[in-house]
Amino acid sequence: MPHAVNPWVAFAYLVAGVCFILALRGLSSPTTSQRGNRFGMIGMGIAVLTTLVTHVPTITVLVEGYDYAALLSAIDTVAVFEIVAAIALGAAIGLTTARRIAMTAMPQLVAAFHSLVGLAAVLVAAAAYLNPVAFGIALPVLTPDGAVALINPVSRIEMGLGVAIGAITFSGSVIAFLKLNGNMGGAPILLPARHVINLGVLVAIVVLVAYFTFDQSPWVFWTITALSFAIGFLLIVPIGGADMPVVVSMLNSYSGWAAAAMGFTLHNSAMIITGALVGSSGAILSYIMCRAMNRSFVSVIAGGFGAEAGGGGASAAKTDRPWKRGSAEDAAFLMSQAEQVIIVPGYGMAVAQAQHVLREMADKLKAEGVRVKYAIHPVAGRMPGHMNVLLAEANVPYDEVFELEDINSEFAQTDVAFVIGANDVTNPAAKTDKTSPIYGMPVLDVEKAKTVLFVKRSMGGVGYAGVDNDVFYRDNTMMLLADAKKMVEEIVKALD
């Protein structure tokens, strides 16, 4: 049975919760993001330290005269050394990863972290199910077949939801990691009758969770777990690369709700608060991104939004069509003579780590009197805010960075649109081709600029969604084929 909570413990968890709220507030703007991160670390430190200090295992005698010690395995005092060793190991892995990880791999890292949160929720739920008395969620009961631990019905609901959401988060995040890391293709993998299968599995999980409140048999719990692992896979596999930032945000929300559900099982208010904050903020971000992409939030949750079977439009590069190739000198001349240049960064810029030299190019153009702005698509890169983080890392002024809805109308009055490593977010097929996997997604209208300079490795590749871009072949487009960083470096030299 859960014991009474020390008021100082409740106060410490409240302080941690306030720190988490301040962290979210700080992360809402690039100018305050570092302060937000510090608040988050302080809050987590308080929560972890409070939990460690106040963890005192006890055995409650429920019925006088009955020897529960003979029925239950003794609850050993948690070894401080083992906990400290585990924390030290995790901290070492985290610090090493944080120092070595490249910004290009940050989306994969986020997906991997989400999977670990989901797996942790599954393991905690399994531990609670296998030894519920130790978690204070069950009473030992004598039956004709022997002694059993009868789990509280409310705890069964919490446990069922926690293991279901955690398993979905884990398997879904693993698929997202494989897609982001290039181990799986970015094109949607459309299974036959996937909507019927997904709906059937989801209904089965809900029914089993409800049934679990009446019957705590092992087959019910493990069936819920297995079906949840399966539906996580089925939900993410049909989603194409262009929609992957929404998936990352959605999985972030799932991981939060999984943590909150396990917080109820563990009677830990800090986990409940943190999980609810992460879950709600992730859901809000997913909704905002869906609106920005003209997607349905319900279809995101159901999975498989994007292309329909047989769709895909022009999925192969049309290299036999005429196109114009330019040089760094051509690009430098055109931009130096322009009144306004809009730079459109994409994942190719991230891969080439070209953000610093790109800012140098912009500074040289501004020194010559050219007005420079940056246009950011909501799903540019592989996770929400990916391009904003890269530009902030290169010290690009925040007042030069604009979101799609704030700058799209300016392309028609812009002399040069400089697109560096972006494809799907500038593809007009999203507005015209109903068979395209990106159809309906708002895109940056770069083709309306007087001149479009497109930095791309080669004409043979297509974007992450596997769709060719008609802008490559327009009369006002000049292709700059090279590594993004190398091309911009050559442009900077030409500007000198």
Give me the active site residues, please. 424
Which amino acid, 410?
A: E
The rounded distance, in Å, linking the Cα atoms of 98 and 347 is 20
Q: Which two tokens stand for residue 111?
A: 């997906």
Segments of 313-462 assigned E as strands: 340-345, 371-376, 401-403, 416-420, 451-456
The set of residues, in sequence order, having a beta carbon less than 8 Å from that of 411 and lying 6+ positions away, is: 342, 417, 444, 445, 446, 447, 448, 449
Contact indicator for 295, 437 with CB cutoff of 8 Å: no
The rounded distance, in Å, linking the Cα atoms of 342 and 414 is 7
Task: Output the CA torsion 330→333→335→336 (10° steps).
Answer: 170
Which amino acid, 125?
A: A
DSSP secondary structure code for residue 412 in this structure: G
* Environment class of 105 (CB within 10 Å of its CB; exposed 0-12, middle 13-18, buried 19+): middle
* Strands 138-143, 451-456: pairing kind: unpaired
Q: What is the CA radius of gyration of the chain?
A: 27
